[in-house]
Amino acid sequence: MQTTELGAGVVKRGTRLADGRELFYFDDPDTTLGPERAVDARELDERPETATMRQDILSGDWITFATKRQNRVMMPGADADPLAPQTPSNPSEVPARYDVAVFENRSPSFGPALNEATDGAPAAANPTRGLDDLAELGLGRTRTSVGRCEVVCFSPEAEGSFGTQSVTRARTVIEAWADRTAALSALPGIEQVFPFENRGEAIGVTLPHPHGQIYAYPYVTPRTQRLLDSIHRTVPDLMSRVLESERSSERVVLQGEHWTAFVPFAARWPLEVQLMPHRHVPDFAALTDAERDELAPSTCACCAVWMRSTRRRHRTSPPGIRRPCTPAATRCACAWSSPALAAPPTS
């Protein structure tokens, strides 16, 4: 097992699961766990073939067809939780007790193939050929869905979310996000890395265990493309101007030395908070230790505001009427990574 000391006293321990997928343990600075971890002794089937992307000629979007995902676990009970530490009665995905664990998804939408064979990942049969190739339009165009999908377990507990974790645990998760963002960005064929957490069955969550995911895409996602287009059509320092405008508004939720949280002027969801750093950074990996330290309590505070607002919204519902589940968002402005965002645009 490879051991690496990261920032904030977090220790990373890397190993592999029985079918060759990578697994990383990220230990809290005040962990009670020892350095040893159990070996995954399961007998697993070979990993499925990498999915295929098809181009929608009407929009130019690339859609991945990952048919093997239909066999994944759907809302199991705590005794069959695939993200819990393994027990004799539950041969889960994580062999040992952990603080934070990150591993390759067993049913990925992207990967395991990459544009080039790399550290156990096979070479794609029909690899992507750069952003210019993906931008071309044509009937029947396909490419291999190169990339990587990873699961981030925030806690070994069966229920919860990122927002229910302690500040110390949130800081460990942020260190994991930064470490994996740097590693995934360096893989051949990766154009954007996006850590995220989905909440609720209505939005597609299949496991109640507190966890998020990291997607390493072979293209720049449509929303990020639109953001870049807005920058090119206006001014190179658009993000700085947005931050200045929001900081002078009445919608600021909290403000620190390195981060500001605010309800955006044109919020897309009934409940939405955005966190934006006070300097231009491309991704989590580029944050300083001080910025990561402040981000941990800031995200916890934003999640607490969201949860209080959600509970209050349900309490104000008329008797006998239950409000439908509505999407809500806490977004971090540097939550995605793309080479195109490595520096402010100059033209």
Q: Examine the pLDDT at 321 and tell me if it is beyond 70.
A: no
Residue 114's CATH number: 3.30.428.10
**Shared-domain flag, residues 198 and 295:** no
**Shared-domain flag, residues 249 and 207:** no
**What digits encode the pLDDT tens for the residues 39-89?**
999 999 999 899 999 999 999 999 999 887 666 666 677 888 999 999 999
* 104 assigned to some structural domain: yes
Residue 270's CATH number: 3.30.428
**Shared-domain flag, residues 211 and 302:** no
Cα separation, 294 vs 277, whole angstroms: 10
Q: Which of 219, 243, 270 is the last residue of a domain?
A: 219
* For range 178-194, the mean pLDDT: 97
* 42 assigned to some structural domain: yes
Cis previous bond, 112, omega within 30: yes
State which residues form the domain around 331.
Answer: 225-341
**Shared-domain flag, residues 22 and 159:** yes
* For range 146-164, the mean pLDDT: 94
* For range 92-105, the mean pLDDT: 97
DSSP symbols for 152-189: EES-SSSS--GGGS-HHHHHHHHHHHHHHHHHHHTSTT
Quick check: is 278 catalytic?
no
Q: Which of 219, 249, 278 is the last residue of a domain?
A: 219
**Shared-domain flag, residues 231 and 210:** no
What is the pTM (predicted TM-score) of this model?
0.89
* 346 assigned to some structural domain: no
14 band by pLDDT with thresholds 50, 70 and 90: very high
**Shared-domain flag, residues 17 and 160:** yes
3-state helix, strand, coil in the chain (%, to 5): 30, 25, 50
* 347 assigned to some structural domain: no
- What is the percentage of the chain residues whose pLDDT exceeds 90? 73
Spot the catalytic one: 211, 232, 258, 314.
Answer: 211
**What digits encode the pLDDT tens for the residues 281-319?**
999 999 999 999 999 999 888 887 766 765 554 444 444
**Shared-domain flag, residues 298 and 336:** yes
**Shared-domain flag, residues 214 and 245:** no
**Shared-domain flag, residues 161 and 233:** no
**Shared-domain flag, residues 184 and 332:** no
Strand 142-144 relative to strand 52-55, pairing: antiparallel
| Number of domains making up the chain | 2
* 149 assigned to some structural domain: yes
Q: What is the pLDDT of residue 310?
A: 59
**Shared-domain flag, residues 131 and 276:** no
Q: Which of 184, 219, 254 is the last residue of a domain?
A: 219
E strand segments, the chain? 2-5, 11-16, 22-27, 52-55, 62-65, 100-104, 142-144, 148-153, 192-196, 211-217, 252-255, 259-262, 271-277, 328-332
* 258 assigned to some structural domain: yes
142 band by pLDDT with thresholds 50, 70 and 90: very high
* For range 14-33, the mean pLDDT: 98
**What digits encode the pLDDT tens for the residues 248-266?**
999 999 999 999 999 999 9
**Shared-domain flag, residues 236 and 194:** no
